[in-house]
A and B are shown apart, each in its own frame.
Chain A
Amino acid sequence: MLTRAVVYGESVPAYAALCASASELAGEVIAVVVGDAAAAAQVSELGVDVRHVPYDGTGLLDEYWPVVADVVAGEDAGLVLLSATKRVRALAGLLAVRLEAEVASDPTTLEATDNGLEYELVRYGGATVQKTSTTASLVAVLGPEFRSLTSRGMEEVDVESRSLRSKADGVGSCVSKGGPGPVTLVDTAVPHIGIRLISRAPKTEQSVDLNAATVVIGVGRGIGSEENVEVAAEVAKSIGAELACSRPIAEGVGWLPKSRYLGVSGAVIQPDLYLALGISGQVQHMVGVNGAQTIVAINKDKGAPIFAHCDLGLVADLSSILPSLADELV
Chain B
Amino acid sequence: MKIVACYKIVRDEADLVVGPHRTVTLDGCALRIGDYDLTAIEAGVQLAAASGGSVVALTAGGEEVRDSKLRKGVLSRGPDMLAVVAEESLGSADAGTTARVLASALGREGFDLVVCGEGSSDRYAQQVGAQVAARLGVPYVNAVSAVSAGSGVVVVQRTLEDEVETLEVTLPAVISMTSDAYTPRIPSMKDILGAGKKPVVEWSLADLDEAVPESSSLRSWLAKAAGVSRVGPERAPEAVPRAKVMYEAGQAGEFFSAVRQLMGKGAK
Residues in A lying within 8 Å of B, measured CB to CB: 60, 62, 85-87, 89-90, 92-94, 96-98, 102-103, 105-106, 121-136, 193-204, 207, 215, 239, 251, 258, 264-265, 273, 275, 283, 290, 294-296, 307-317, 320-321, 328-329
Task: Determine if A132 and B247 form an interchain contact, defined as CB atoms under 8 angstroms apart.
Answer: no
- A151 CB to nearest chain B CB (Å): 14
**Contact A314 B13, CB 8 Å, known A98-B134, A132-B229, A203-B159:** no
Shortest 5 CB-CB distances between A and B: which pairs? A93-B130, A194-B139, A97-B134, A124-B13, A194-B170
* B179: chain A residues within 8 A (beta carbon): 251, 265
Which segment of B71-79, B195-203, B259-267 sits at the interface? B259-267
Within 8 Å by CB of B166, from A199, A283, A307, A314, lies A199
Question: Across the interface, do B164 and A201 meet the contact criterion of CB distance under 8 Å?
Answer: yes
Inter-chain contacts of A310 with B (CB < 8 A): 242, 244
Q: Which of B102-125 contact A (CB under 8 A)?
A: 118-119, 121-125
CA distance A93 to B122 in the complex (A): 18
Contact B229 A129 (CB under 8 A): no
Chain B, residue nearest A258 (CB): B180
- Which of the 9-residue segments B58-66, B140-148, B207-215 touches chain A? B140-148
Please tell me the size bucket of the interface on B.
35 or more
| Interface residues of chain A: helix, strand, loop or mixed (majority) | mixed
Interface presence of B168 (CB below 8 A): yes
Q: How far is the CB of B8 from chain A (nearest CB, A)?
A: 13
A232 CB to nearest B CB, Å? 15
Give the distance in Å from the alpha carbon of A200 to the alpha carbon of B165 in the complex.
4
Q: A141 to B256, alpha carbons, bound, how many Å?
A: 40
Decide: A198 and B167 in contact? CB cutoff 8 A. yes
Contact in complex: A123, B122 (CB < 8 Å): yes
List the A residue with the shortest CB-CB distance to B172: A194
Q: Which of A96, A125, A204 contacts B134 (CB 8 A)?
A: A96
Provide the residues of chain A in CB contact with B131, threshold 8 Å: 93, 96-97, 103
Q: How far is the CB of B176 from chain A (nearest CB, A)?
A: 8
Q: Please, which residue of chain B has its CB at the minimum distance from the CB of A310?
A: B242
Asked if B163 and A127 sit within 8 Å, CB to CB, the answer is: no
With known contacts A130-B233, A198-B166, A215-B263, A311–B245 Cβ distance under 8 A: yes
| CB-nearest residue of chain A to B250 | A316
Given contacts A87-B160, A194-B173, A203-B162, list 8 more A-B pairs with CB under 8 A.
Answer: A121-B123, A134-B228, A197-B165, A197-B166, A200-B165, A203-B161, A204-B164, A251-B179
A139 to chain B, nearest CB (A): 9
Judged by a CB distance under 8 angstroms, whether B27 is at the interface is no
Q: Are A126 and B134 in contact (CB under 8 A)?
A: no
Q: CB-CB < 8 A to A199: which residues of B?
A: 165-166
List B contacts of A295 (CB < 8 A): 242
Q: Which of B130, B229, B231, B251 sits near A92, CB closer than 8 Å?
A: B130
CA distance A124 to B26 in the complex (A): 11
Which chain A residues border B16 with CB–CB below 8 Å? 124, 127-128
* A296 with B259, Cβ < 8 A, contacts A194-B173, A207-B162 known: yes
Residues of B within 8 A of A105 (CB): 95, 119, 123-127
Q: Contact residues of B with A, CB < 8 Å?
A: 11, 13, 16, 24, 26, 36, 94-96, 99, 118-119, 121-127, 129-131, 133-135, 138-143, 155, 159-170, 173, 179-180, 228-240, 242-249, 251-252, 255-256, 258-260, 262-263, 265, 268
- Which chain B residue shows the least CB distance to A300? B249
Interchain CA distance A4-B19 in the complex, whole Å: 41
- Determine whether the beta carbon of A329 is less than 8 Å from that of B244: no
For the complex, what is the distance from the CA of A289 to the CA of B204, rounded to whole Å?
42
Chain A residues with Cβ below 8 Å from B239 are 309
Whether the pair B130, A90 counts as a contact (CB closer than 8 A) is yes
Minimum CB–CB distance from A126 to chain B (whole Å) comes to 6
Q: CA of A123 to CA of B231 in the docked complex: distance in angstroms?
A: 13
B3 to chain A, nearest CB (A): 17
**Beta-carbon contact of A315 and B247 below 8 Å:** yes
Interchain CB contact under 8 A, A307 and B168:
no
Shortest C-beta distance, B32 to chain A (Å), equals: 12
Complex contact B124–A125 (CB within 8 A): yes
Residues of B within 8 A of A89 (CB): 126-127, 130, 142
CA distance A60 to B251 in the complex (A): 57
Q: How far is the CA of A106 from the CA of B94 in the complex (A)?
A: 14
Q: Could you tell me if B234 and A129 are in contact, using CB atoms closer than 8 angstroms? A: yes
In the complex, A22 Cα to B168 Cα: how many Å? 36
CB distance from B150 to the nearest CB of A (A): 11
- Sample (16) of A-B pairs whose CB atoms are under 8 Å apart: A86-B143, A105-B125, A132-B232, A195-B169, A196-B169, A196-B170, A197-B165, A198-B166, A200-B163, A200-B166, A203-B162, A203-B164, A264-B124, A312-B262, A315-B247, A316-B248
